[in-house]
Amino acid sequence: MNHFTPLSALAGGLLIGIATVLYLALTGRYAGLSGILRSAAFGDPDRTMDALFTGGLVLGGVLWFTLAPHPAFAPAATDLWIVALGGLLVGFGTALGNGCTSGHGVCGLGRLSVRSLVAVLSFMGTGIATVFVTRHLLGLA
């Protein structure tokens, strides 16, 4: 299942970039999804914008998964309790580090931010290390 899919990867990536640029140009806001999701859920000031953006994310998924001949039902890559632990760490870590793959990756690198580059290298590094441990040392997946 891990075969390289360059065309869909590039097409999706370009679309993500365009959406991010449009969002900044039209509303002046950065599409950093961890912050947007938190704000929408916890009722931060200006949550309306974030709630609408989040709703849009779901809508985008609905459009693709219903229209495209794509296996919508893919089994989880790891056991649900591992996913749960992952979610806790992503929630805490993105709050502490102030961003995720869209915030630091797409927006931060787009702004040529050294701080975001450091963040991206950090989470890529620990992400790779974690998968190495779980798959090749512990044999969990």
Partner 1 sequence: MMRKYVAALACGTLFGLGLAISQMALPSKVLGFLDVAGNWDPSLLLVLGGAVAVTALAFRFVLRLPKPIFDTSFEEPSRGRIDARLLGGASLFGIGWGLGGYCPGPGIVSLARFAPDAYVFVITFLVGSFAFRIAQRRRSFVRARVGTSSENALA
Residues of this chain, 82-121, that bind partner 1 according to CB under 8 A: 82-107, 109-115, 118-120
Size of the site for partner 1 (CB under 8 A): 115
In the bound complex, what is the minimum distance in angstroms from residue 85's beta carbon to partner 1?
6
Rounded (5°) CA angle 111-114-117: 90
Binding mask 4-33 for partner 1 (x = CB under 8 A): xxx-xxxxxxxxxxxxxxxxxxxxxxxxxx
**Among residues 45, 69, 74, 139, the one that binds partner 1 under rule CB under 8 A:** 74
CA dist 136 and 141 (Å) reads: 9
- CB of residue 46 to partner 1, shortest distance in Å: 10
Contact between 43 and partner 1 by CB under 8 A: the answer reads no
CA 98 → CA 12, 13, 73, 118, 129, distances in Å? Answer: 24, 22, 32, 12, 21
Of positions 58, 69, 138, 139, contacts partner 1 by CB under 8 A: 58
Please tell me the number of Cα atoms within 13 Å of 105 on its side-chain side. Answer: 14
Residue 1, both tokens? 């299942």
